[in-house]
Structure 1
Amino acid sequence: MDRLVKTDVQELHLQFIKGKKCSSTFKLTNLMHTMSVAISLTTTNPSIFSISKPLSIIPPLATSSYTLSFSQTCSNNIPPQAARMDTIMVRTSMLPTGKAHQDDLRRLFSKPGRHIFKDAMISIFFVGPHVVEYLISYSPKTLEVTLLLPKAISGCDEYQLNYLLKQAAKMGNPLFVSSLIDAGADVNSRDSEGQSAMSIGVEFGNVKVVQVLIESGFVMNRKFDWFLHVATAMDCVEMLEVLCLGYDDIDVNSVDSKGQTALHVASIHGHVEVVRFLISVGSDPDIADTKGWTPLHFSAQEGHLKVVKVLLDHSIFSKNTVTKEGKTAYALAAERGHDHLYDMLHLEDLLHRAARVGDVHSMKSCLAEGGNVNAKDQNGWTPLHRAVFKGHIECVKLLILHGAVVDTVDDEGHTPFYLATEAGHSQVSLHLISHGAKANMKSLERKNSRDWNCFKNHASSVVKPLTQERY
């Protein structure tokens, strides 16, 4: 005979509740038709478990009930089972007399031999939300923990599973998240404030957890879910990639309560790689928030050089957009003293305007603040191009005095000298020639007329004395 008794269960589940004792019952049935069986029940951890009737006798074909109790309350209110299983060992021996005292039974099982049968091993598992929370939060991520977790989850209701799903998302273990969802946790459950397991996973930067939640069918709610904004603030490009790949219809230009997109957030924090990524997936750098601030305004104010460069390369209006307070990105940078941004943010825009209208005073201020005298606009014009085209001789003199290159060409290959002559400003042209300007090829090609030749002859007669006078 292989065994003398049979058990009604192979596992005992103890519903662990913090601060309370717990117990579970099981039954043994004598398989012998004519003979009583002596029973010995021991646990692998007798210091914390107690068993009713650890030594007993079961009559022929009879059944007896037993109770396993967790015999102490843990002072720290956590289950004693860290990453292992406990068991009850069921040993038996035939008892022809059918009767024996406890001391007799003790002596019977104290001596090993062929008369002792090891009939069964009953596994002991703590179950319930407190156990799951403990395993999620404190246990090492071992194979045995992955075996214990499904058992512990079996003692949880749906409400508890939903709570535990959020805890697992926080701790960043995708296996635990999957196990809870498989057990019945609702991936779309939210608390009273709208917080979900997904929002927690994103907030804590747990990319693999977020992937599991997306694959499990999480549905975003635009009222609560600002995942792109959160991931952006954390400078987590990988999280942004997962979100954009997981949701084809995700709105990369969605705005929060301040009217700010994720690109605004990235610009505020100076996360240049995030800025590049968001623009690559369609973020609009020219969107202004409720106060009229574009991402460029924020990056300029904070002095984020690399971000400013990227935004300028991709924006259309931001450079000249003013906030509701009437400030450009340059003005905000100037307020904070970010002089390394002046050229990039086109302090020279003011210089260009002053050169165009002939405002020498404003030009002096721009140059004193560090404006680039040779900065080009979108057409390749420098302030000198503008000043000579309008014939503002005093502006021309000031610009050359501050180092303006007299022969720089615009996108069409035109020099300031060419523009001056085409506009008929001979005094300006003479001043340029006196400072080394040369007629470029396009000037010769386009002004090969009698008037042009007359002007050139006149210029030569005047320039020579001027040149001699300089030296």
Structure 2
Amino acid sequence: MEEEDQLAEEDLTLLLSEKALHDAAKRNEVEKMQDLIRVGVNVRAKNRVERKALHWAAGAGNEQAVRLLLQRDRHLDEEDSFGMNALLLAAWFGHLKVLQVLVAHGAELTWENKNGLTMLHCAAQRGHTKVLEFIMEDLEDLSLDRVDKAGKTAFLLAAEHGQLEVVEYLIGMGCTHDLKDKEGNTALHLAAKHGGCEVLRRILETGLDVDQRNTDGRTALHMAVDEDHSACVELLLRSGCNANAQTNKGLNALHFTAQRGFVNMTVLMLEAKTNTDVVDSQNRTPLHIAASKHHSDVTRLLLDAGCDLDIPDKVRRRVCPYGCCYYGYYGDGLNLNTA
């Protein structure tokens, strides 16, 4: 090494020559990498997030650079500060050939990052079906239903991230459809929450219970309504979901639209004959919530739907016929609270 080799200013954990090796690995500049290795650059040198040249080459899909580094760096399972090793980075970015090279060199197949993601989870979440096919069809002893630290399988992650092709593939491979994550969410909950309408449609075709509840008592309908995904809501309603399902706190779909001020969603749920007068754990109707949040358009829709104005909440407040204020009796007098 040359004596004047200094620390790289942008990453004070690397020498300039080591930084040059990382950059060359990212760009698959094999000849430059060979020159640097020839003069003694440390191929295992890591930057501030514990990433080395092999990580960069694998993540970029640079097969030649990976092969060169593996001649000098046998520590192919070393992880960065996120728990990602070369194998997981290749799976995450969908680089099948690099993944195959790493497997052939003895990479640990069941490696997981700090969130418990394996290469199967990484490929499923990112939508890399070809990588999944290699993992499931060419490798052995890999569980299709293995969960990460949030309790999510590859199928749940694919549903959550709207990866329709992956969802189709995993269903075809025989994954378990009705598993729940640590929050009690099924694939239906996750697809509905994130607006993956086509994914939701495919999962419904498996016969999964459309009204399953998570740990908060929410159904897929509640998740879709709360995120204003009208296409998902319409699909769930056509699939026969319970439009009046209530959460553990007594909230129905209209409580969610009232809380969020979603006008079109309120119209949709009113057309579905959702109960306007159901009360939550605080004895609040959707009207109470809409008025308290100053969502005047939603308040007017609920009033026009004929909701009951005589229902008091837990502190005996009601909404006036014009939807402009709360009022209630406290002691001997009338207390008006502008909504």
Structure 1 segment 51-450 matched on structure 2, within 5 A: 72-75=42-45, 76-79=51-54, 82-85=61-64, 130-137=85-92, 145-154=95-104, 155-160=106-111, 163-182=118-137, 183-184=139-140, 185-191=142-148, 193-224=150-181, 225-245=185-205, 247-248=206-207, 250-315=208-273, 318-346=275-303, 349=306, 365-367=320-322, 369=324
- Cα distance in 2 for partners of 1:304, 1:191 equals 34
More strand by share: 1
- Cα distance in 1 for partners of 2:147, 2:98 equals 27
- Cα distance in 2 for partners of 1:293, 1:251 equals 20
Aligned CA distance change for structure 1 residues 71 and 134 (closer, same or farther; 3 Å)? farther
Aligned CA distance change for structure 1 residues 366 and 193 (closer, same or farther; 3 Å)? closer
Partner amino acid, structure 1, of 2:122: Q
Unmatched runs of 5 consecutive residues or more in structure 2:
1-29, 46-50, 78-84, 311-317, 326-339
1:71-127 deviations in Å (ceiling 9; x for gaps): 9524342325743348x9xxxxxxxxxxxxxxxxxxxxxxxxxxxxxxxxxxx8999
Cα drift, residue 319 of structure 1: 1.6
RMSD: 3.8
Partner amino acid, structure 1, of 2:177: M
Unmatched runs of 5 consecutive residues or more in structure 1:
1-42, 51-69, 89-123, 354-361, 371-471
- Cα distance in 1 for partners of 2:242, 2:305 equals 25
Partner amino acid, structure 2, of 1:211: E
1:27-58 deviations in Å (ceiling 9; x for gaps): xxxxxxxxxxxxxxxx98854789xxxxxxxx
Cα drift, residue 206 of structure 1: 2.7
Q: Larger C-alpha radius of gyration, 1 or 2?
A: 1
CA contact (8 A) 2:309 2:321 kept: no
Cα drift, residue 307 of structure 1: 0.9
- Cα distance in 2 for partners of 1:165, 1:311 equals 38
CA contact (8 A) 2:43 2:72 kept: no
CA contact (8 A) 1:174 1:212 kept: yes
Identical amino acids, percent of aligned pairs: 19
1:191-242 deviations in Å (ceiling 9; x for gaps): 4553322233333333322222222221135442422222222122122123
Aligned CA distance change for structure 1 residues 163 and 347 (closer, same or farther; 3 Å)? same
Aligned CA distance change for structure 1 residues 336 and 170 (closer, same or farther; 3 Å)? same
Partner amino acid, structure 2, of 1:285: A
Aligned CA distance change for structure 1 residues 134 and 336 (closer, same or farther; 3 Å)? closer
CA contact (8 A) 1:125 1:152 kept: no
Aligned residues: 258
- Cα distance in 1 for partners of 2:119, 2:165 equals 17
Cα drift, residue 135 of structure 1: 2.5
- Cα distance in 2 for partners of 1:240, 1:329 equals 27
Partner amino acid, structure 1, of 2:256: F
- Cα distance in 1 for partners of 2:148, 2:256 equals 34
- Cα distance in 1 for partners of 2:63, 2:229 equals 45
Cα drift, residue 303 of structure 1: 1.5
CA contact (8 A) 1:333 1:342 kept: yes
Structure 1 segment 6-25 matched on structure 2, within 5 A: none
CA contact (8 A) 1:85 1:125 kept: no
Cα drift, residue 149 of structure 1: 3.0
* TM-score when normalising by structure 2: 0.63
Partner amino acid, structure 1, of 2:211: N
